[in-house]
Structures are given as structure tokens and as C-alpha cells.
Amino acid sequence: MILPGGSWPDRRKGGRGWPEQTATPEYSDPLRASMTDGDLPGWAAGISLLAGTIATAGVADYLLSNSGYEFLGIYVWAACYAGALLVVWVVWLRDLELTGPADG
């Protein structure tokens, strides 16, 4: 935002045109003060990951294959899906106990 007179407001001092901003104690950046990991439900993060993976892998494969780099397109497609599987493992599945009962 450029103020009348062509100058930028001084954000550090809460100068002209900027409201005084006080950060919460746990955050030093006021823009991140309202964003936490708990705000996005797990299902929404999963859908976002799925949609992002499909879009990125598909567009990259399409562009590379049509440019004559079919093998590279296949590699990038596979790398995108492998990366998504890695993220799913790290975020959701790593802490699951995958063993059966001790008495068997």
C-alpha cells in the first residue's frame, strides 16, 4: 500500500496507515498467529494431498510426454506418487502399531 505522497508506511513502528500489531507470546509473526496445524482436519489434508498429487503428476507427465521426454514423464509421475506415499506414511501411518496380539 503506497500512501498519498508516494511513501511506504514504516511497519516496524506502526507508522501511518498501519494499525498497531501485537504478536501473541507463542508466535513472533502476527500473520501466523492464527494458523496452527490443528486448524485443518486430517481428512481435508488427505484430500488436499491427493488432489495435489494427481494434478502435479498428471500435468508434469502430460507436458514432458508431449515434449518428447516420455521416459522422464513416467519417472516424474512415479516420483510424485512415491512422494505422496512417503508423506502419508510419515504423517498418518508411522505411529500406528502394526503388530498383532502377543498371545497367539
pTM value surpassing 0.95: no
User: pLDDT digit string (tens) for 21-78?
Assistant: 555 555 555 555 555 556 778 888 889 999 999 999 999 999 999 999 999 999 999 9
DSSP class of residue 37 equals: G
The rounded distance, in Å, linking the Cα atoms of 22 and 12 is: 11
- Residue 5's pLDDT is 55
DSSP class of residue 28 equals: S
Q: For residue 89, which of 48, 46, 60 has the smallest C-alpha distance?
A: 46
CA dist list (Å): 104 to 81, 96, 97, 99, 100: 37, 20, 17, 12, 9
